[in-house]
Amino acid sequence: MQVSFKEIFVKIFRRFRLFLKLLLSNRSRFSFLNLVNPRDAFFAPCDNRKIIHVDMDAFFAAIEQRDRPKFRGKPVIVGGDPWDRGVVSTCSYEARPFGVRSGMATHRALRLCPQAVLLPVDMNRYRAVSEEIFDIFRRITPLVEGMSIDEAYLDVTSNSKNESSATRLSQQIKAEIFLKTGLTASAGVSFNMFLAKIASEINKPNGMAVITPDRAAGFLEALPVHRFHGIGRVTANRLHGMNVHTGRDLKRLPMEALVEVFGKIGRYYYEVVRGIDRRCVTPVRVRKSLGRENTFPVDTANLDFLREKTLRLGLEVGGILRSMNRRARAIILKVKFADFSQTTRCRQFIQATDDAGIIANRGTLLLDECAKAFCKKIRLIGVSAHLEGPDEQPSAQEEFAFMQSINPKL
């Protein structure tokens, strides 16, 4: 690859300009950040954080294989009853070459891999193992944010071991997890949460990857858009339609264009492709959403039946909100079809509410609105509330994190 003299000159000029800004700025770190051209963000002061994302490998299935040696080396599926519309929670790596994936119907998974051992979910046992693992994390830093039972972010910028290398630290964490639990984990190391998460996926299972600030730009530019955490199949397809296939293509789009096409989340895309993610590892998370869902015994297209179920779910959510003394700022309806594809509809309330009747009615209105577009039978309906926080106006990222929590494919 040839780099022209002009490009080198521009790079040197940008670094020099940033150096000058740093020198001249007496402001706080964050007001300084606002002055920085997003293209220079890789050299911004927040890049000196050290974040590790740890994700256990096939957690439930790995525990089962650890405790029952006869299943080691065999395809293991942990999931619900195939005769009762159960879904796969986790499958061992031996089952994955057959096309088995988390979230698919158990009966389909067993058709793809008939020799697999099917085991029921034993959440209490998994939770006990998870606590052992989180204890290891918390002995290293108090800044541990659990994303699920088997996944967490650790801010190790300062840590109890006084270890300056996050890479060495994550090797130690992996080794300690294996020693204590006999299980393997994958770790990603970087300077923000977004990149640490992507890094942990690179060498799965039992892998580790590091994305340093100087490698981040090149890495993100080469990354296909569907690999960006937060860009699901639908968004990726829309981007492909816009001739955007990689981070490099995405970077060419101005923020205004992204916001126009994707709404608030466009800003998030604009920033993460430049390696900007200002989220902090937050040990205690304020609950941001609350939802209930219902899987039907048989797939249905009966609108009256669906309306009644939506109404009940809405009333239930409203009742819980009131008992928690929280209010909903928006309501989200999730519809999962017979083929497991799903759609969500969201509506903001002008004023936050805990009125179960209003929530339930709005849920059915959302159902009516999108029912015209349904051409498949429905297997599941979910109603959730986006909760009003202590002090309002969520950032685009919070909005995104919330939307993603209700729709992982987003």
State the residues that interact with Mg ion by CB under 5 A: 55-56, 150
Minimal distance in Å, beta carbon 300 to Mg ion?
Answer: 33
Contact present, 61 and 90 (Cβ < 8 Å): yes
Judge contact between 269 and 263, C-beta under 8 A: no
- Between CA 50 and CA 263 the distance in angstroms is 31
CB of residue 128 to Mg ion, shortest distance in Å: 17
β-strand pairing of 51-56 with 151-155: antiparallel
Minimum CB–partner distance for residue 186 and Mg ion (Å): 8
- Residues 250, 251, 253, 256: is their CA dihedral positive or negative? positive
Question: What is the nearest approach in angstroms of Mg ion to the Cβ of residue 43?
Answer: 33
For the CB of residue 90, give the shortest distance to Mg ion in the complex, in Å: 8
Look up residue 95 and give its DSSP letter.
T
The pairs formed by 295-299 with CB atoms below 8 angstroms and a separation of 24 or more are 295/85, 295/379, 295/380, 296/378, 296/379, 296/380, 296/381, 297/85, 299/337, 299/338, 299/377, 299/378, 299/379
Residue 130 CB, shortest distance to Mg ion, in Å, is 11
Q: Is 151 a catalytic residue?
A: yes
Q: Which two tokens stand for residue 346?
A: 């969201």
Return the HEC string of 37-91.
CHHHHHHCHHHHCCEEEEEECCHHHHHHHHHCHHHCCCCEEEECCHHHCCEEEEE
Nearest distance, CB of residue 95 and Mg ion, angstroms: 15
Determine which helix (DSSP H) or strand (DSSP E) holds 383, and give its type and residue range: strand 378-387
| Contact in structure between 333 and 361 (CB atoms under 8 Å) | no
Least spacing, CB of residue 200 vs Mg ion, in Å: 9
Q: Which of 64, 94, 151, 388 is catalytic?
A: 151
Distance CA 254, CA 263 (A): 13
Q: If 0-12 CB within 10 Å is exposed, 13-18 middle and 19+ buried, where does residue 241 land?
A: exposed
Q: Is 164 helix (H, G, I), strand (E, B) or coil?
A: coil
308's CB contacts (< 8 A; 6+ apart) are none
Query: Edge to edge, what strands does the sheet with 76-79 contain?
Result: 88-91, 76-79, 117-119
Positions annotated as catalytic residues are: 151
